[in-house]
Amino acid sequence: MCGIVGYIGTKKASPILINGLLRLEYRGYDSAGIATIENDKISIMKDKGRVKNLYNLPGIGDLKGTIGIAHTRWATHGKPSKENAHPHMDNSNTFSCVHNGIIENYHELREFLTNNGYTFYSQTDTEVIPNLVHYYYSKDTNNDDLRFLRAVNKACLDLKGSFAIEIISKDYPDNMIVVRKDSPLVIGKANGENYLSSDIPAILSFTRNFYLLDDYEFAILSRNNVKFYDKDLKPINKNTTTIEWNASSAEKDGYDDFMLKEIYEQPTAIRETIGAKFSESTKCEFEDLDFTKEYLESINKIYIVACGTAMHVGLAGKNILEKLCKIPTEVDIASEFRYRDPLVDDKTLCIFISQSGETADTIAALKLSKEHGAKTLVITNVIGSSITREADYSIYTHAGPEIAVASTKAYTSQLVLMTILGIYFAEVLEISNDDIKELKKEILTLPKKVETVLKTCDQIKEFAKKVYQEKDIFFLGRGIDETAAREASLKLKEISYIHSESYPAGELKHGPIALIENDVTVIGVMTDPKLVEKTISNLQEVITRGAKTLILTNQDIDKSMFDLVIDLPKTNPFISPIISIVPLQLFAYYISKEKGLDVDKPRNLAKSVTVE
């Protein structure tokens, strides 16, 4: 949530800042703004609403400053308004800052500053930051080059919560200071200029060389240099990391929406995620994993912890780990995990799944697990993200940037990687059976099969036109198909705003069938041959009550009883959600388009949820 951009160099900062904010719109926001240094004064331009509104602000075309900061805000403290939009300024107009995260003790800091003569003009927690910096700055009588840094350092040590902060000062027109704690921030290094952002894609067109900040690392940026300091202001050395993403992968490339582009990118993302990790005749290998048979035999439980779509990957992963590896596995929602005193110890392996690697709830759960002695393993898409620097082990999908808020290719890539991880564990445990051999063979065919499924888009589009005005839609499945039903229901909620629910098909008669009436749409997923007959029996119960039905299956069934049947390629049930979810992603997409909604930026949602 929220987005940060910064620039210091020789070019006009304002167009670079606004362009960066436009690339961060997928994160979700309600206001936007920039601050630049103009003739030794700080100029702030901000407004409620979309980034494009900035173009209409008086005087924005006259900005010539070559240093600036920018922000898209997602309201937490205070309603969406121009006053609450970032950047914020201190009372003396000496400092301006933007901030992602939550300052948990802002009430007491605000009271302290008010008692010391400071006035506040917004409802935000962020406004305490520049005023606190000014407070410490005014108390420092040593007017040397590090006075600005000392003030920022002291202010940040007073903050409780999470933050990524950029600060500029009219007294230091050739410098910018940045710091982070539990919230993402990267520095892009170029020739004679430096860029900053909360997300790499926003500045990827300018550089591929990035500094990745750890918690409480402070950086002073000039045009030609970046100096790093630790929490005690001792100088530290950092090396850049090269990011190999193609900058064009963050553009639409002719598609109407990022979401549609990313749906169609799934065959490529799956191929890249599989990589060279195994073949039909070789064992699975992860360069960064060194699990032993003795360790895996010693653990008594695996926890998979995640949020939203990533949690649905975990549900499918539980099925894979328990059946292939015979290890008891629990799936937990990250936001609940830490507050229920989970039974975690040194015989627990905790697996965390996060597309961005910056999901605050998931990172907090990981830290708790480490405190209890568990080994931690992360599945993510972003090298160098916060969660990877906390975990004992990290493995990566290779989905590339995912811009649309509703996750598609990240889901399928994560599930592919989760499956390969399950096979890897089974092979380390020396569990060898025909299921594993067959599964490896099937994984290698997944990209082609997903390409085949994408060709069903016309059928899905026509069905979407028939049902897009409905208020309620239900999804049913059994076993691993129910995990795909959950994800499909979430997709529909996220981008169409239609109320939808998913249920294990066998639970229908235990309550939910009371909601089924004439002309309600019910969608069934059936890919496990052991469960098809029972699922069909449940679907007949809704048909007799007048429901319309869309069925996705790779089994031989009597199609005449259903309104539409989408034929899926046959595959191993372990990985069937990777195939069955694709038409349902398209279903949600086409319904949203029929309703004229913003597919890529659904209301109230953000791509990267960096606050709890």
Q: Among 261, 491, 493, 607, which one carries the catalytic annotation?
A: 607
Minimal CA–CA distance to 291: which of 427, 391, 436, 383?
427
Q: Alpha helices of 191-303 — where are they, by DSSP H? A: 258-264, 266-274, 293-298
Both tokens assigned to 3: 């987005």
Backbone dihedral angles phi then psi of residue 394, each to the nearest 5 degrees: -135, 135
The Cβ of residue 296 has, within 10 Å, a number of other Cβ atoms equal to 16
3-state secondary structure of 242: strand
Q: With the C-alpha atoms ordered 383, 265, 577, 473, is the resulting torsion angle positive or negative? A: positive
- Residues 342-357: b if buried by 16+ CB within 10 A, e if exposed: bebeeebbbbbbbbbb
Which of the 8 DSSP states describes residue 214? P
Maximum C-alpha span of the chain: 84
Q: Look-up: residue for tokens 């240099």?
A: 225
* SS percent in the chain: helix, strand, coil, step 5: 40, 25, 35
Contact between 36 and 63 (Cβ < 8 Å): yes
3-state secondary structure of 300: coil
For the chain, helix (H) and strand (E) counts, in that order, are 17, 25
79 catalytic? Reply is no
How many angstroms separate the CA atoms of 136 and 332, rounded? 43
Cα 50 to chain centroid, rounded: 21
3-state secondary structure of 463: helix
350 catalytic? Reply is no
- Strand partners for 349: 302, 375
Cα 59 to chain centroid, rounded: 35
Minimal CA–CA distance to 590: which of 475, 456, 485?
456
Both tokens assigned to 212: 């990745």
Q: Look-up: residue for tokens 């331009």?
A: 45
Q: Burial, 115: exposed, middle or buried (Cβ in 10 Å; 0-12, 13-18, 19+)?
A: exposed
Residues 6+ apart with CB under 8 A from 145: none
How many angstroms separate the CA atoms of 302 and 224, rounded? 48
**Cis peptide bond upstream of 80, omega within 30:** no
Q: Look-up: residue for tokens 């990011």?
A: 243
Minimal CA–CA distance to 524: which of 574, 485, 578?
485
Contact between 71 and 3 (Cβ < 8 Å): yes
Task: Tell me the catalytic residues.
Answer: 2, 607
